[in-house]
Amino acid sequence: MSAENLPQSPEPQPRKPRVAVVFGGRSSEHGISIVTAGAVLRAIDRTKYDVLPIGITRDGRWALTADDPERMAILDRQQPSVEQLAESGEGGVVLPVDPANREVVYSEPGSVPKALGEVDVVFPMLHGPYGEDGTLQGLLELSGIPYVGSGVLSSAVGQDKEYMKRVFISFGLPVGPYLVIRPREWERDESAVRGRIADFAGEHGWPLFIKPARAGSSIGITKVDSFEGLDEAIAQARHHDPKILVEAAVRGREIECGVLEFEDGPRASVPAEIPAVQSHEFYDFEAKYIDAAPGVVPAPLTDEQTAEVRRLAIEAFEAASCEGLVRADFFLTEDGEFVINEINTMPGFTPISMYPRMWQETGVSYPELVDRLIQAALRRSTGLR
């Protein structure tokens, strides 16, 4: 048989990029992070990517979990936990510490560590402290692994509502009245803090919103109508974060807008409106995730208002040097002006969450949204931004 007729070896198939979806974590948003990750695991194109699900337990252990989105949902008003999903009660996943080596290792006490293969990009579906606040992003920078979303500084700014507002003010973005109560202030002189709040209420009126400075999903927030409920509201907020914010009520409509990074830069989605929920005093955790109060997409705004809120959303994205994605939350006041409330660098991401719904209405489907975020992360390298 001539050489020309010899059977040819098949060309080796290129390896698919491997995506580690990381979820759970040590924050009070542990369960919602898992729900979000379950939706992402359903949507990732398995013909295009290999997937490695990694859950972080409430005490911080990185666990290998089953790739089972059906178990990652709220059932009977109960949130899931990584402890329920972990394949082992003792084993742990370890990221590489050498930027030249992206191989993830799994180890159990008394067993030889097992290599799980290289990871090309991390999709961190973590909300709140120890995940969305720059801590995980710093770890991934040290490991040299690209990741979805904003970098260390932007993530930290997006998590800390005080410094977020300071950044917005420095860039000329409109922010509502607020007061910061630092831990040492409250511990040193509670009566002086109450006096400051009294002066603030005298200037801006009741109700006030008392909230943790570095939490999300409306956890720990209380609307107070008088001094009678103030101490209880402060205790509730401090349970989640020793630094708290006191915010004046901004009377108006709640408007949200999504920002997504494209190859040519960030673009804004059509905005959405969060209507008043009759059974809740405000758009709190129960309204968002348990009762799943629906938002209105697109928001019923004029063309001029829509253009303005989209412009402001991109300005907020750029002001905090964000990457990948952001949901920007605004109030449209009775005077017709937009006031920015906050940004979320890793917003709720289930198919019924506002961020994906806004992009769906803008023409980007949920699977395409997931794909675009992964591709944006793969285009970037770690390091100073």
pLDDT tens digits for range 6-46:
555 555 567 899 999 999 999 888 998 999 999 999 999 99
CATH of 178-248, one of 3.30.1490.20, 3.20.20.450, 1.10.3720.10, 3.50.50.60: 3.30.1490.20
In this prediction, residue 198 carries a pLDDT of 96
Query: How many of the other CB atoms lie within 10 Å of CB of 83?
Result: 15
In this prediction, residue 75 carries a pLDDT of 82
In this prediction, residue 87 carries a pLDDT of 74
Would you identify the CATH topology of the domain 159-175+251-378?
A: D-amino Acid Aminotransferase; Chain A, domain 1 (3.30.470)
In this prediction, residue 1 carries a pLDDT of 46
In this prediction, residue 369 carries a pLDDT of 97
In this prediction, residue 7 carries a pLDDT of 54
Q: Are 151 and 137 in contact (CB under 8 A)?
A: yes
Q: Which residues are within 8 A (CB) of 355 and not within 5 positions of it... i.e. 6 or more apart?
A: 256, 258, 325, 327, 344, 347, 348, 349
pTM of the model: 0.88
In this prediction, residue 74 carries a pLDDT of 83
Mean pLDDT split into 10-residue runs, the chain, 385 residues: 52 82 92 93 96 94 91 85 83 83 84 85 92 94 94 96 97 97 97 97 96 82 93 95 96 97 96 78 50 82 98 98 97 97 93 94 97 93 59
Please name the CATH architecture into which domain 18-147 falls.
3-Layer(aba) Sandwich (3.40)
In this prediction, residue 385 carries a pLDDT of 54
What are the structural domain ranges in the chain? 18-147, 159-175+251-378, 178-248
